[in-house]
Structure 1
Amino acid sequence: MRKWSALLAVGALALCSLASAQNLVKVNLQLKWFPQAQFAGFFVAKERGFYKAQGLDVTLLPAGDQSPIQVVVSGAADFGTTWIADLLTAREKGLPVVHIAQMFQKSGFTLVSLKSSGIKDLCAIKGKSVGVWPSGNEYPVVALFRKCGLTSSLDPKVSNPDVTAVTYPFDPALVFPNRVQLVSAMTYNEVDQIIGLGYDESKLDIFPLADHGINLLEDNIFTTEKVLNDKNFKGSGMSGREIAARLIKASLQGWDWAVKNQAETVEKYVLPFCGNTCKGSGTRSGAKEHQTWQMTEVAKLYNAGPTLKGWAGFLVPAEYQASVKLLRDQNILSKDPPAAAVDYGPWEQATGKKASDYK
């Protein structure tokens, strides 16, 4: 009898586990780029069961031919990650996207030149060529040009621009240094790739745009008004706002764990998933070394500002308003975004904090 009782107990436990798995709410999260340490916290949240503990079955979608905003607005994904400039410009175009959490608290956007080019002042680059990225990733550079009073070939109305912008698909080896004197580079990715092309750091000038007043934050979590207003998300019995709060809570758990356990995160949760993107083109080292570099650098972007005060994922209102002002001053935005462009509700529900209490 004891044997049968034990078997029945095991069978009941298996059925409960199966039922629990069947009750998980399926959620698609569209990442801004291909799998790499830039998204380590999300990998950790999935693989260590943080999403599952929140009742979510999260699929992490790598970047495709469309921007994350297009994918989420189309309904092919429920949530996405993107940059604040891209989100706000999309909002002005009438797309009902909503910022719900800010994962990186400092911009990692830089421009890189060879020291031999003699560039010491980003506002003194008239006659130079600059490598820029497409699909909304050019806005930080556009803001810099306009802040410096420089015209560029990105503006079709300008016939004789001060600066020639050369659009390239994210691999600096395609344009630098033969076609451009300055090239866009994230601290956690392309900087290491450029060094791998044979240009030691001692031969480079690296200009963080944040040091020049262009601190447009990257890597937020966003969704649409439709998702947030859904009273019964995918028939789960939970609202879209509840799902958003659960996603944020588990994602923050994942990021906190990843930042505290960087070596293990790279080994167990990044390298198994990043495939061909593990080793950046031109990178000086192997896949593990490049992803370790990337993990170290993204940890700095996450572990800054409000995160250091215990407010991870919080979009500081003053930082947000500074971004809006910058984008408006440079005519990238023609008006202030509507209040609905940012919704603190899901983050507040996820963390138990009130946005109004931030100091």
Structure 2
Amino acid sequence: MQRRDFLKALGAGTLAAAGSSLPRIGHAAGMVPVRLQLKWFPQAQFAGYFVAKGKGFYAAEGLDVTLLPIGEQSPIQTVVAGAADFGTTWITDLLTASSRGLPVVEIAQIFQKSGFTLTTLKKYGIEKPADFKGHTVGIWPGGNAYPALAFFKKYGLTTSLEPGVGNPDVKLVTYGFDPKLVFPDKAQVVSAMIYNEVDQIINMGYPLDTLKIFDLADYGINLLEDNMFTTQNVLNEGNFKGSGISGKEVGARLLRASLKGWDWAVKHQAEAVSMVLSQCGPYCKGAGKAASGLKHQTWMMAHIAQLYEAGPTLKGDAGLLEKSELDNNIALLNSLKVLKTQPAKNVAEWSVWEMATGKRVPWKV
């Protein structure tokens, strides 16, 4: 169904009642089981979802949501295989999967600013992009390296990953997400999420004032991270798991409750961290000799809040993937020649966000 037909069928009166636009499923009708695949281990990166579950926001929408951790595997795999109904992932994962023909569809953009950094020690004298020349940089495997590669390409720096480059400007080494594996002995610079690995580096004994942090979003490399996605099959489902409601309605309920959880978590960060600490177990404290669960999750929550409260969220449109940002992200990946073909035209489905919020996107879909 096209977006306009869908909105017409939904009804103008329904759209006007934002926040209560969908008929609720009462307990008598039973709760609808939904599996939400998280991109990593339990931590404050997913605080909004833990809050939505713990505060009963999902239950209020008639959903019995199970939050599934995954570690270093791809959420794309579990959602496409049907082991999960919805998932969170980075937009680069989503776009590359779509370009390979996988039927993945983004329904919301939770983080509106990239938290990807390249972090080094001030003593190395790397003050601007050109100064990376002659240094070794630690990157993550697979699609997690794309922001760093896009940064180097934008600033005309060749890397050791490029075929046929005999004397690259930057040597790249791959490391498995724990900076102490390579930093600073094997790599003077490392990929580091502002909300996670930067704090791990601090806990390794390098105070914040000794670090030089290149926030790639500030350099025009805003490859967006955590979104919410599903498959076209789920969205096309007219009777999701025998519940009597459609996959799109389930997605809208899930999204609305999740955004409510995120709004609450950002406004009540200490309480949100407490809820996360009850879930994250051995993954609470990150890494480093000075690490502690409370400190690390508090750091993470504060920086996650900054990624959430950016872009459309500041305009009252939390969860909205702006078409211009989608186009920019596709263009960046095209510049790296990582897309086998162009992502599907329906790689983003804005009607779910419209159902969840009672608003309409300001562009033609």
TM-score by length of 2: 0.89
Q: In 2 relative to 1, CA 23–283 (structure 1 residues): closer, same or farther, beyond 3 Å? A: farther
Alignment partner of 2:143: what SS?
coil
1:13-68 CA deviation, whole Å, 9 max, x = no partner? xxxxxx92881111111111100001000000001111111111111111145211
Q: Residue 58 of structure 1 is aligned with which of 65, 69, 92?
A: 65
Equivalence for 1:292: 298
Q: Residue 224 of structure 2 is aligned with which of 217, 229, 235?
A: 217
Q: Percent identity?
A: 61
Q: Residue 274 of structure 1 is aligned with which of 272, 280, 285?
A: 280
In structure 2, distance between residues paired with 1:48 and 1:21: 21
In structure 2, distance between residues paired with 1:202 and 1:65: 31
In structure 1, distance between residues paired with 2:64 and 2:137: 42
Equivalence for 1:261: 268
RMSD of aligned Cα (Å): 1.8
Q: Does 1:352 align with 2:358?
A: yes
Query: Does structure 2 retain, via aligned residues, the 8 Å contact 1:102–1:314?
Result: yes
Q: Which amino acid is 1:90 matched to?
A: A
Q: Residue 227 of structure 1 is aligned with which of 231, 234, 242?
A: 234
Q: Which amino acid is 2:351 matched to?
A: G
Q: In 2 relative to 1, CA 201–74 (structure 1 residues): closer, same or farther, beyond 3 Å? A: same
Alignment partner of 2:36: what SS?
strand
Equivalence for 1:320: 326
Alignment partner of 1:26: what SS?
strand
Q: Residue 106 of structure 1 is aligned with which of 113, 136, 155?
A: 113
Q: Does 1:145 align with 2:152?
A: yes
1:302-355 CA deviation, whole Å, 9 max, x = no partner? 111111111000011122212122222232336542221010011100000001
In structure 2, distance between residues paired with 1:157 and 1:222: 37
Q: Does 1:246 align with 2:250?
A: no
Q: Residue 89 of structure 2 is aligned with which of 82, 96, 106?
A: 82
Give the deviation of 1:265 after TM superposition. Answer: 1.0
Counting matched residue pairs gives 339
Q: Which amino acid is 1:323 matched to?
A: N
Equivalence for 2:49: 42
Q: Which amino acid is 1:54 matched to?
A: E
1:145-203 CA deviation, whole Å, 9 max, x = no partner? 22223332334565554322211111111110010011011111111110111111111
Alignment partner of 1:72: what SS?
helix
In structure 2, distance between residues paired with 1:278 and 1:241: 34
Q: Which amino acid is 1:236 matched to?
A: S
Q: In 2 relative to 1, CA 51–21 (structure 1 residues): closer, same or farther, beyond 3 Å? A: farther
Equivalence for 2:184: 177
In structure 2, distance between residues paired with 1:302 and 1:222: 17
Query: Does structure 2 retain, via aligned residues, the 8 Å contact 1:78–1:223?
Result: yes
In structure 1, distance between residues paired with 2:325 and 2:224: 9
In structure 2, distance between residues paired with 1:53 and 1:99: 24
Q: In 2 relative to 1, CA 95–357 (structure 1 residues): closer, same or farther, beyond 3 Å? A: closer
Query: Which structure has the larger Rg?
Result: 1
Give the deviation of 1:285 after TM superposition. Answer: 4.0
In structure 2, distance between residues paired with 1:135 and 1:69: 14
Give the deviation of 1:86 after TM superposition. Answer: 1.5
Q: In 2 relative to 1, CA 283–296 (structure 1 residues): closer, same or farther, beyond 3 Å? A: farther
Q: Which amino acid is 1:113 matched to?
A: T
1:88-141 CA deviation, whole Å, 9 max, x = no partner? 111111111111100011111100011111112224423321111123211111
Query: Does structure 2 retain, via aligned residues, the 8 Å contact 1:192–1:283?
Result: no
Equivalence for 2:198: 191
Query: Does structure 2 retain, via aligned residues, the 8 Å contact 1:46–1:52?
Result: yes
Q: Which runs of 5+ in 2 are unaligned?
A: 1-25
In structure 2, distance between residues paired with 1:50 and 1:84: 26
Q: Which runs of 5+ in 1 are unaligned?
A: 1-18
Task: Compare 169-178 and 153-162 and name the one that shifted more.
Answer: 153-162
TM-score by length of 1: 0.90
Give the deviation of 1:284 after TM superposition. Answer: 3.4
Q: In 2 relative to 1, CA 71–157 (structure 1 residues): closer, same or farther, beyond 3 Å? A: farther
Task: Compare 192-201 and 336-345 and name the one that shifted more.
Answer: 336-345
Query: Does structure 1 retain, via aligned residues, the 8 Å contact 2:137–2:190?
Result: yes
1:199-219 CA deviation, whole Å, 9 max, x = no partner? 111111000001111011110
Equivalence for 2:8: none
In structure 2, distance between residues paired with 1:229 and 1:283: 49
Q: Which amino acid is 2:212 matched to?
A: D
Q: Does 1:132 align with 2:169?
A: no
In structure 1, distance between residues paired with 2:234 and 2:289: 40
Q: Which amino acid is 1:215 matched to?
A: N
Equivalence for 1:168: 175
Q: Which amino acid is 2:277 matched to?
A: L
Alignment partner of 2:153: what SS?
helix
Alignment partner of 1:29: what SS?
strand
Q: Does 1:23 align with 2:30?
A: yes
Equivalence for 2:339: 333
Q: Which amino acid is 1:217 matched to?
A: L
